Structure 1
Amino acid sequence: MVESVAGLSHRPPRPLFSPTTLIIGDSIVRNIRFFNATTRCFPGATAAGLLDKLPELLQSIPSSVCRVIIHIGTNDTTRRQSELMKQDFMDLFRLMESCGKSVFISGPIPTLSHGAERFSRLLSLSTWLQHTCTHEHQHGRAERA
């Protein structure tokens, strides 16, 4: 990607190391940068939306990537359909278990800034993700970050 600042073209510096981590998520991950990670930001991302993008994305990443960190969930709670949301996450877990990489799920952090109902939905999702990743995916493929 070439960015233009004041008429000058600017290329991001070439990484010194091949990335070993892929960070995927909604807009909250937009500016996350690590020397050994590559970040893919999908503003407004949901578990269902990420399911559509992941097969192609996983094929396009460098072979040096051995771990994937996924941060989504905040946008899923706006649908107000908890059981469908959980099914989307279970489908996401199944897809990621087959990718051969260590997977870490970084779910939303509940905050009171958007009201009590949103807080409750985020807390419920966070609790469910922690339980599900701990008890149903014990093979190191889906862990709660």
Structure 2
Amino acid sequence: MDAERSAVVTCTGCAMFVFLPQDRSDFVCTKCKLISILEEKIQGLEKRVSTLHSIKENEEFLDRRQDRLQRAQCCEDSEQAAQRGQKTSEDNWRHVTSRRGKSMRQVHVQETHIQMSNRFHVLSTGTSAESGVNDASEGTEQKETPLIGRHEMHSPRDGGSTTTTPKRRRRVVVVGDSLLRGTESSICRPDRENREVCCLPGARIHDVTERLPRLIKPSDRYPFLLLHVGTNDTAKNDLERITADYVALGRRIKAFEAQVVFSSILPVAGKGRGRDRRIVEVNEWLRRWCRREGFGFFDHGMVFQEEGVLGRDGLHLTKRGKSIFGSRLANLVRRALN
């Protein structure tokens, strides 16, 4: 029934048919409407393009005309300038005739003698200064060059050398207990000849005091002494005994005239709260004592309380802990020497 009511309507543009409720003779589909709109826009764009082309042609024509006028004006100006210059040059010319009977005056220039001499003398060498050889050109006896400070000038002919003696490097001695084992490479690598790490397993403070005279040589000039000791003392000794041993060690060190730095005692694990408290007390006292005595104090802080630094025994260091400890001591030595 619906199909019978609807009518077939054909588009006037594309001849396509659709079903509409009623018949329409002027029907235009949507696609044809869009196409007509696009065609109108295209026509408008074509008109604009043609207008722009005509404007461009007119501008080019005007530019060419302007260039021709400018070139003509320049040529005219240059011709006028040339004519004015030629006229000016003709006005400046004068006719000059030669004068007869008068000879040319000769100008005599008086010769001046310039005295050339050298006010600098040849530097004397050691041989010529001692023998008093006279310089033939000057006729005066050369004087010996005075010595400046402690550096003496030598002539290469005498077998002497003009270079000065290189500055001697300071000696570095690191001494302490078994925690220093494994730090030798980091500390001594920059200068193996003048650096030494003395590891004394199980050593206490009085052991280091007795060992120092064999480590510091009389020929060492202001050596750098780094001490890490005291861990084994905190196991059984009280604070009063430990501080007394440090004071005795300080008196022995002052006889060497060295730059001294004490390293703080590292923490331990699983040894009881009493020992942990004693280590903290010793480090606090050691800090104040070093400041009072003029020694350096290197505090490790909380670095060695992290996991994976202390070994299973809670006393010695792991491989990672030794690497950290050695790097810190090596950096301390580098900063102290620089």
If the length of structure 1 is used for normalisation, what is the TM-score?
0.76
CA contact (8 A) 1:69 1:105 kept: yes
Letter in 1 for 2:233: D
CA contact (8 A) 1:21 1:66 kept: yes
Aligned pair partner of 2:230 in 40, 54, 73:
73
Aligned pair partner of 1:40 in 198, 202, 208:
198
Q: Hey, what's the Cα distance between the residues in 1 that align with 2:221 and 2:258?
A: 11
Aligned pair partner of 1:120 in 242, 267, 277:
277
Are 1:108 and 2:265 matched, yes or no? yes
Q: Hey, what's the Cα distance between the residues in 2 that align with 1:19 and 1:39?
A: 15
Letter in 2 for 1:137: E
Aligned position for 2:293? 137
Are 1:30 and 2:172 matched, yes or no? no
Alpha carbons of 1:64 and 1:97: their partners in 2 closer, same or farther (altered >3 Å)?
A: closer
In the TM superposition, residue 109 of structure 1 has moved relative to its aligned partner by 2.2
Aligned position for 1:5? none
Q: Hey, what's the Cα distance between the residues in 2 that align with 1:82 and 1:106?
A: 17
CA contact (8 A) 2:222 2:259 kept: no
What count of residue pairs does the alignment treat as equivalent?
Answer: 124
Letter in 2 for 1:56: R
If the length of structure 2 is used for normalisation, what is the TM-score?
0.34
In the TM superposition, residue 70 of structure 1 has moved relative to its aligned partner by 0.2
CA contact (8 A) 1:109 1:123 kept: no
In the TM superposition, residue 25 of structure 1 has moved relative to its aligned partner by 0.6
Q: Hey, what's the Cα distance between the residues in 1 that align with 2:253 and 2:277?
A: 27
In the TM superposition, residue 66 of structure 1 has moved relative to its aligned partner by 1.7
RMSD (Å) for aligned C-alpha atoms = 2.1
Higher relative contact order, chain-length normalized (CA < 8 Å, sep 6+): 1
| SS, match of residue 285 in structure 2 | helix
Identify the structure with the greater helix proportion.
Answer: 2
Q: Hey, what's the Cα distance between the residues in 1 that align with 2:271 and 2:221?
A: 39
Aligned position for 1:53? 211
Structure 1's unaligned 5+ residue stretches are 1-16
Instruction: Kindly name which structure, 1 or 2, has the bigger radius of gyration based on alpha carbons.
Output: 2
Q: What CA deviation, in whole Å up to 9, does each residue of 1:9-59 have, x standing for no partner?
A: xxxxxxxx9673111010001111222331000011111111111112223
Letter in 1 for 2:178: S
Q: Hey, what's the Cα distance between the residues in 2 that align with 1:106 and 1:73?
A: 10
In the TM superposition, residue 64 of structure 1 has moved relative to its aligned partner by 6.5
Aligned position for 2:241? 84
In the TM superposition, residue 65 of structure 1 has moved relative to its aligned partner by 7.0
| SS, match of residue 217 in structure 2 | helix
Identity %: 24
Are 1:96 and 2:264 matched, yes or no? no
| SS, match of residue 104 in structure 1 | strand
Q: What CA deviation, in whole Å up to 9, does each residue of 1:72-124 have, x standing for no partner?
A: 01011112332121111001011111211100000202344322111011111
Are 1:63 and 2:63 matched, yes or no? no
| SS, match of residue 105 in structure 1 | strand
Structure 2's unaligned 5+ residue stretches are 1-167, 299-338
Q: What CA deviation, in whole Å up to 9, does each residue of 1:119-140 have, x standing for no partner?
A: 0111111111011111x213xx
Aligned pair partner of 1:21 in 168, 172, 178:
172
